[in-house]
Amino acid sequence: MNKAELISLLAEQTTLSKKQVEDVIEGFIATVTKTLKAGGEVTIAGFGTFSAKQRAARTGVNPQNPTQKIQIAAVVVPKFKAGKNLKDALK
């Protein structure tokens, strides 16, 4: 399911218009992004937790030349941990 399909489905399930649903989703994405950039995390009870994780620098292998070692820089990556209700729903 892509973003447009999600917006259409949520508009059908609620009394909101597609434009209102789109605004809510955009606001949610912006808020989560801003919170993660600030080093925080967003927890939605029963659904899961969005957080930012520091991935340490490491030595890797150049895929075009496997004998050559390359240094991969440290980076911050997004992480999602599913909540119990979401896990149980998928069983």
CA nearest to 32, candidates 44, 54, 50, 20: 50
pLDDT, average across residues 10-22? 95
Residues whose CB is less than 8 angstroms from the CB of residue 69 and which lie 6 or more positions away in sequence, other chains included: 59, 60, 61, 62
Report the pLDDT value the prediction gives residue 84, as an integer from 0 to 100.
Answer: 94
In degrees and rounded to multiples of 5, residue 38 shows phi and psi of: -80, 0
User: What does the pLDDT read at residue 79?
Assistant: 96
- The verdict on pTM exceeding 0.85 is no
- The mean pLDDT of 40-61, rounded to a whole number, is 95
* Contact partners, residue 26, CB within 8 Å, separation at least 6: none
Residue pLDDT, tens place only, 54-77: 999 999 999 999 999 999 999 999
Highest CATH level, class, for 47-91: few secondary structures
How do residues 19-32 score in pLDDT, each as one tens digit? Answer: 999 999 999 999 99
In the Cβ-directed half-sphere of 88, how many Cα atoms lie within 13 Å?
Answer: 5
Domain ranges of the chain: 1-38, 47-91
